[in-house]
Amino acid sequence: MADQDDESMTEEDLLSEHKKQRKDLQAHIQKLKRSVPKGDKKKKKEVTEEIAKLEAELDQRQDQELAAFQQKQKTESTVKSLENLSTEDLPEEGEGDVPFDKVKKSKAQKRREKKAAQAKEREERIREQEAENIFLARNVETEKIKKFLSERGLQIKEIASDGNCLYNAIVHQLSLKGIEASNEGLRQQIREYMQSHEVDFMPFLTKENGDCYSHEDFVQYCESLATTTAWGGQVEIQALSKVLKMSIEVVQAEGPLIRIGEECEGNPLIIIYHRHMYGLGEHYNSVQKKTEEGEDDFS
């Protein structure tokens, strides 16, 4: 466990570290999936079993780390409560030595510990329910998308969840048209386009506190867009449509099909917007023609 000896680590820090580990594992899993030759069922089975093993090992290790951390916190809390006992809870003079762990707790201390235990149990139930809800929401969303695509003779083409999913989904769609492109190249193109059409894009960008972007904020936004793995959204899709001179269809489970750049001729690029993918939130995948087996990429 990272920073295991750091006395300042909180349970929230540990859970955050666990979330990062799961994200790293998902990235590794994507590499394993992509290593499977198309149609090689034996290799696909081996990779699926290896993925299941990796996920089980991570679950077990994180459960053990969390249990050990909680036990440590509980022990420290008990020691602290004993140190804070009032003098009336200590043995009277002449009663003899009483073992430290046998000193009676005050009623107030017992009530505090009971409340703390109940609050902790409630928080754990909330976390468990949130995890269950995310898993359920993801499955429901995926099934709706699969059904919609199947009716159009399409299926999901999975894209790695590394911050570049929007751009790599577009790269895949372009490759189906015989057009070579790259994540880095697309990012550079839309930075240049957005900077030269600032008045068209800046009104749609706001800071976390709701304030509008200044010119300097917009320049920094475009720079980050081109030089980091910053996640792309609606604004970037608009810019991509303009740069590529192609319409882009965004399939989603909730809400209507979105088509951007309807004025463009030719078949649109088709991408999928997921709200609940990988438990990490929003994600974009691509699509491809439905195969004979009709199987999506490990979805």
For residue range 192-217, list pLDDT tens digits in order.
999 999 999 998 898 888 888 999 99
Q: Which of the pair, 103 or 160, is modelled with greater confidence?
A: 160
pLDDT for 63: 79
Burial (CB count <10 Å: 0-12, 13-18, 19+), residue 83: exposed
Please report the pLDDT score of residue 260 as a whole number.
94
Residues 145-182 have pLDDT tens digits of 999 999 999 999 999 888 899 999 999 999 999 999 99
- Examine the residue annotation and report whether 172 is marked as an active-site residue of this protein: no
Of the pLDDT bands very low, low, confident and very high (cuts 50, 70, 90), residue 299 is very low
How many whole angstroms separate alpha carbon 59 and alpha carbon 62? 5
How many C-beta neighbours within 10 Å does residue 31 have? 9
Verify whether residue 18 is a known catalytic residue.
no
Strand pairing report for 154-157 and 258-260:
unpaired
Average pLDDT of the chain, as a whole number: 80
Beta bridge pairs of residue 250: 258, 271
- Catalytic residue from among 165, 172, 276, 296: 165
Residue 279: which pLDDT band, with cuts at 50, 70 and 90?
Answer: low
At residue 298, the pLDDT reads 42
Residues in the chain: 299
More confident residue, 4 or 62: 62
Tokens of 71: 């036990």
pLDDT for res 295: 54
pLDDT confidence of residue 259: 94
pLDDT (mean) for 233-250? 95
Q: Which residues of 134-171 are buried (b: 16+ CB within 10 A; e: fewer)?
A: beeebeebbeebbeebeeeebbbbbbbbeebbbbbbbb
The SS3 of residue 226 is helix
Which of 23, 68, 29 has its CA nearest to residue 49? 29
Q: What is the pLDDT of residue 84?
A: 60
The pLDDT value recorded for residue 27 is 82
What pLDDT does residue 188 have? 97
Better-predicted residue by pLDDT, 295 or 62:
62
Round to whole Å and give the CA distance between 232 and 273: 11
**In the 8-state DSSP scheme, what is residue 267?**
P
- pLDDT average, residue stretch 53-69: 80
Extract the tokens encoding 191.
Answer: 């930075």
Residue 251 near residue 257 (C-beta atoms within 8 A): yes
Give helix 41-83 / helix 11-34 axis angle, nearest 10°. Answer: 170
Question: What single letter denotes the amino acid at residue 65?
Answer: E
Q: Say what the pLDDT of residue 93 is.
A: 46
* Residue 34: predicted pLDDT: 75
Residues 213, 205: Cα–Cα separation, whole Å: 6
Fold adopted by 139-289 = Cathepsin B; Chain A (3.90.70)
Q: Regarding predicted confidence, which is higher, 138 or 249?
A: 249
Q: What are the respective helix, strand and coil percentages of the chain, to the nearest 5? A: 60, 10, 30
Domain segments of the chain: what residues? 9-81, 139-289
Task: Spot the catalytic one: 18, 222, 283, 296.
Answer: 283
Provide the 10 A C-beta neighbour count for residue 44: 16
Distances (CA, A) of 279 to 54, 153, 154: 17, 28, 24
Cβ pair 154, 285 in contact under 8 A: no
The pLDDT value recorded for residue 87 is 46
Rounded to an integer, the average pLDDT of 25-35 is 80
Q: Is 283 a catalytic residue?
A: yes
Q: What is the pTM of this model?
A: 0.55
**pLDDT interval class at 20 (50, 70, 90):** confident
